[in-house]
Amino acid sequence: MKTLCRLAILPALIVCQFYGYLTHSQPTAAKPNKQAEGPSIISLPLIRHSGSPIIQRTTIENIIGTEVSLFDDIYSSAIEATQTRWMRSNALAFLWNEIEAEEGVRNWSVPSVRQIEQQLLQAAKQNYKVIKIVRGTPEWARRDPGQGATCGPIHPDKLPAFSRFIKELVTRYSAPPYNIKYWEIGNEPDAPAHDGNEVFGCWGNPADKYGGGRDYAQMLKVVYPAIKAGSPNAIAVMGGLVLDCSPTFTNLDCAPSRFLEGILEGGGGGSFDIANIHAYDYWGGSNEYSNRNWASFSYSTGPSLIAKTNYVRDILSQYGLGNKPIINTEFALLCWQCENSPPGFEQAKAIYLAQANVAALSKGLTANIWYSVPGWINYQTQLIELDGRPNLAYRALKFSAEQLSGVSYVGEETSNRFVRAYILNRKGAQTWVVWALGVEQNAINLPSMPSAVFDMYGTPLQTARSLRVTEKPIYIHFTAGQGVIQP
């Protein structure tokens, strides 16, 4: 059993999560065998892309966001400076159990709602796309007595009461001055219920073939019309799925990861607008990371969000929903049970963040949200240190948000398996985001002289037609008409 502790509303308050079914270990990633093959040179010419069909995706702003639990002046200014546009906060979720502790009596003046309103007013001023989470089952509405005050599936007889609550909630906060558009129903619903006031899970049933997904679907089918009745412009977001391991692995018991299938088997496919995943990877030392439960490695496949997105899109396609948008509302590189950040980890975290954002854009994700700004205690995911100092990952996030704003994804150059080269387009001018897989430098020969080259923090590098790349992503800019890979 893993114990996962996240920062909540106050720095001193720690909320611990017990994922009873997440028992698969995360060993250090194996070293690549590239050294045996010797160094390689890749030439990236002006060619027509010969691989799989290219996904054209244009972002009006950018897909990058952050999870926040604090929104004081320091954090607010730091987040605003990154130019990210998405914001999420599970610590400041709307709690049904607090607002409607007694059935039919709703108190919109409870302290948690007042905190949320302050956050929303500030976020509205800064023009964030806020994803607001709704969770917490009142004792009177629980299906399973004894599951704690807030965690557990809603009794079928009480789903109409939840629907009425949701309609009033959406009506109140979709309107000015709050202007909330995105509503996430639950957090990590595929995780099981536990005794206590949990901030995650509560719908997962490891004993069920579909992990409890069919029960969650029945709730969605009742709640979805209420969301739209509250505001026709409201967007219903599925609770972000843990997806602890790939169900395609026959040697792992991955029944909980079939939760999405359960939703669709239960007829819930038309009762959410955006599918939602969470995708974490684990530090393996140096600049390496992996998620073995999804066969994802820094030196080969890249971040696990790629494998998870492919899996979710495949499942949706099987049910005729292949065009349903997908969002990643939590991702980070975890330093497993690290009380302090070890040497080398902060650089690895920055590398991972920059790579994952580009990968998310290439997969067509609606948003990619880092967990979190203040960080996850004992896993060192913070972007801002306790003294208010931005770290390397923050710098990488800020430059990534700038570089990925207003671009379309053209394709990936795959002529050399030891180099990743993602091709982006902004008004006819291309940016290539390039890094090497493994530990060796790789030489790349460009089709023309780039106009500028930057490291992952935005520091200018020497401009040349031949460059050496490492695991650290670099951004290569070309003027319009140069460096173009045609679809």
Q: Tens of pLDDT along 468-479?
A: 999 999 999 999
Mean pLDDT of 399-408: 96
Number of neighbouring beta carbons within 10 Å of residue 301? 16
- Higher pLDDT, residue 23 or 31: 31
CA 478 to chain centre: 30
Across 41-45, 221-225, 377-381, 385-389, least confident range: 41-45
The pLDDT confidence band at residue 216, using thresholds 50, 70 and 90, is very high
List the single range of 121-125, 280-284, 413-417 with lowest mean pLDDT. Answer: 413-417
- Total-model pTM: 0.90
> The tokens 């949701």 sit on which residue?
166
232 has pLDDT over 70: yes
Q: For residue 273, which amino acid is it? A: D
Residue 40: count other Cβ atoms within 10 Å of its Cβ: 15
Pairing between β-strand 326-334 and β-strand 368-370 as defined by DSSP bridges:
parallel
SS3 call for 459: coil
Residue 60, pLDDT > 80, answer no
Which amino acid would we find at residue 33?
A: N
Q: Residue 44 — very low, low, confident or very high, per pLDDT cuts 50/70/90?
A: low
Structure tokens at 115: 């905190």
* CA pair distance 132, 114, nearest whole angstrom: 14
Give the whole-angstrom CA distance, residue 183 versus residue 315: 23
Give the model confidence (pLDDT) of 108-117 as tens digits: 999 999 999 9
Q: How far apart (Å, rounded) are the C-alpha atoms in residues 190 and 201? A: 6
Q: Calculate the alpha carbon distances from 83 to 86, 89, 252, 408 in Å.
A: 9, 18, 41, 18
Summarize the confidence of residues 436-457 as an average pLDDT.
91
The rounded percent of the chain whose pLDDT value lies above 70 is 84
* DSSP β-bridge partners for residue 238: 185
pLDDT, residue 413, reads 85
**Predicted pLDDT at 16:** 37
Q: Evaluate the CA torsion angle 432, 438, 441, 446 in order and state its sign.
A: negative
Separation of alpha carbons 261 and 339, rounded Å: 37
Output the pLDDT for position 439.
Answer: 78
Give the integer Cα–Cα distance in Å for 74 and 415: 45
Give the Cα separation of 271 and 258 in Å (integer).
Answer: 18
Question: pLDDT-derived band of residue 8, with 50, 70 and 90 as boundaries?
Answer: very low
Total residues belonging to the chain: 487
Give the span between the Cα atoms of 459 and 473, in whole angstroms: 12
Predicted local confidence at residue 40, as pLDDT: 44
pLDDT higher than threshold 50 for residue 37:
no
- Is the model more confident about 41 or about 429? 429
Domains 2-36+61-408 and 41-48+412-477 share a fold: no
Q: What is the fold, at CATH topology level, of the domain defined by 2-36+61-408?
A: TIM Barrel (3.20.20)
Ranges of beta strands (E only) in 335-457 are 368-370, 408-413, 419-426, 429-436, 442-445, 452-454
User: What pLDDT does 254 receive?
Assistant: 82
Helices and strands: H and E segment counts in the chain: 9, 21
pLDDT at 163: 98
Q: Binning pLDDT at 50, 70 and 90, where does residue 417 land? A: confident
Determine the pLDDT at residue 102: 96
| Distance set, CA 117 to CA 108, 136, 172, 176, 469 (Å) | 10, 18, 11, 12, 46
Three-state SS annotation for 266-296: CCCCCCCCEEEEEEEEEECCCCCEEEHHHCE
Using a CB cutoff of 8 Å and minimum separation of 24, what contacts does 246-253 make?
246/293, 246/294, 246/295, 246/307, 246/311, 247/311, 248/311, 249/293, 249/295, 252/24, 252/293
pLDDT at 47 over 60: no
- What confidence score (pLDDT) does residue 415 get? 78
pLDDT classification of 195: cutoffs 50, 70, 90: low
- Determine the pLDDT at residue 438: 82
- Give the span between the Cα atoms of 259 and 256, in whole angstroms: 6
What confidence category does residue 19 fall into, taking pLDDT thresholds of 50, 70 and 90? very low
Q: What is the pLDDT at residue 61?
A: 66
Write the pLDDT tens digit of every residue in 65-77: 999 986 667 788 8
User: What CATH number does domain 41-48+412-477 carry, 2.40.440.10, 2.60.40.1180, 3.40.50.300, 2.30.130.10?
Assistant: 2.60.40.1180
Q: How confident is the model at residue 150 (pLDDT cuts 50, 70, 90)?
A: confident
pLDDT exceeds cutoff 70 at 7: no
Report the 10 Å Cβ neighbour count for 47.
13
pLDDT in the model for residue 13: 30
First to last CA, the chain: 47
Q: Which of 221, 8, 262 is nearest to 112 (CA)?
A: 8
Q: Which residue has the higher pLDDT, 200 or 53?
A: 200
Computed over every residue of the chain, the mean pLDDT equals: 86
Domain ranges, ordered by start, for the chain: 2-36+61-408, 41-48+412-477
The answer, yes or no, to whether residue 172 has pLDDT greater than 80, is: yes
Which residues, in sequence order, are CB contacts of 458 under 8 Å at separation 6+? 395, 398, 399, 402
Average pLDDT over residues 257-272: 97
Least confident of 35-39, 198-202, 213-217, 442-446: 35-39
Cα 453 from Cα 399, distance rounded (Å): 13
pLDDT at 483 (0 to 100) = 62
Per-residue pLDDT, 447:
85
Q: What is the pLDDT of residue 99?
A: 98
Q: Would you call 173 exposed, middle or buried from its count of C-beta atoms within 10 A (0-12, 13-18, 19+)?
A: buried
State mean pLDDT over 397-407: 96
The yes-or-no verdict on residue 269 having pLDDT over 90 is yes
C-beta neighbour count of 325 within 10 angstroms: 16
* Collapsed DSSP state (helix, strand, coil) of residue 133: strand
If DSSP codes are grouped into helix, strand and coil, which group holds residue 474? strand
Residue 184: strand pairing partners? 133, 237
Measure the CA–CA gap between 136 and 265, rounded to whole angstroms: 25
Can you read off the two tokens belonging to residue 250?
């026959």
Residue 221 has pLDDT above 90, yes or no: yes
Q: Which two tokens stand for residue 254?
A: 């991955």
Higher pLDDT, 255 or 431: 431
